Amino acid sequence: MKIIFLIISFFLLNACSNTANSLINLQAIAPKVNLENFQLIKLGLSKQVYRLRLHIKNPNSFPLPIQNLNYQLFINNKSFAKGLSNKAVTIPALGDGYLETDVSSNLADVIEGWGQWFSFAKQSLDYKIKGSIGVTSFAIPFPFQYSDKVDLQLRK
């Protein structure tokens, strides 16, 4: 009887060990977030509201149920706008999806940057979006950062 108990205990401990190792090896990779579209929604004296369309790519072999997104948008390395989204969206495994969210800025900050952003000497505009994504099944949010340039040259 003791031998049967020892054999069953051995197999149970081995199974638990394999499950723990599998969970340890399951490491999530942060999703890639880039700015797909940027649109002015509301223009006021003290505040402007823009709608951002973010493209989110999931490099993991499991879906990512996103519960929130906290981000900041920079133009030419100057803070332009901050935002927080609590829209829930699930990005499929090894797939991608979109999230539209509104962001606000302060008119004083925008006016201060206009001269630099749209000077005739500039032929492109650098932007950066960075922040964190809260995923339902993970306690710690995933940080993200994406930078790119927008061509300002007028086409003939």
Note whether residue 23 is domain-resident.
Answer: no
Q: What band does 23 get if pLDDT is binned at 50, 70 and 90?
A: very low
Separation of alpha carbons 155 and 62, rounded Å: 43
Note whether residue 44 is domain-resident.
Answer: yes
Q: Which whole-number Å values give the CA distances from 139 to 19, 28, 61, 142, in the listed order? A: 20, 12, 19, 10
Note whether residue 18 is domain-resident.
Answer: no
Place of tokens 């090896």: 25
How many domains are there within the chain?
Answer: 1
Amino acid at 100: E
Q: Tell me the residue range of the domain where 46 lies.
A: 29-151
Q: Kindly report the pTM of this predicted structure.
A: 0.69
Q: Are 46 and 107 in contact (CB under 8 A)?
A: yes
Q: Are 128 and 146 in contact (CB under 8 A)?
A: yes
Note whether residue 14 is domain-resident.
Answer: no
Note whether residue 15 is domain-resident.
Answer: no
Domain harbouring 106, CATH code: 2.60.40.10
Note whether residue 24 is domain-resident.
Answer: no
pLDDT tens-place string over residues 57-93: 999 999 999 999 999 988 888 888 888 999 999 999 9
Note whether residue 12 is domain-resident.
Answer: no
pLDDT tens-place string over residues 99-146: 998 888 876 655 555 555 555 455 677 889 999 999 987 888 999 999
Note whether residue 19 is domain-resident.
Answer: no
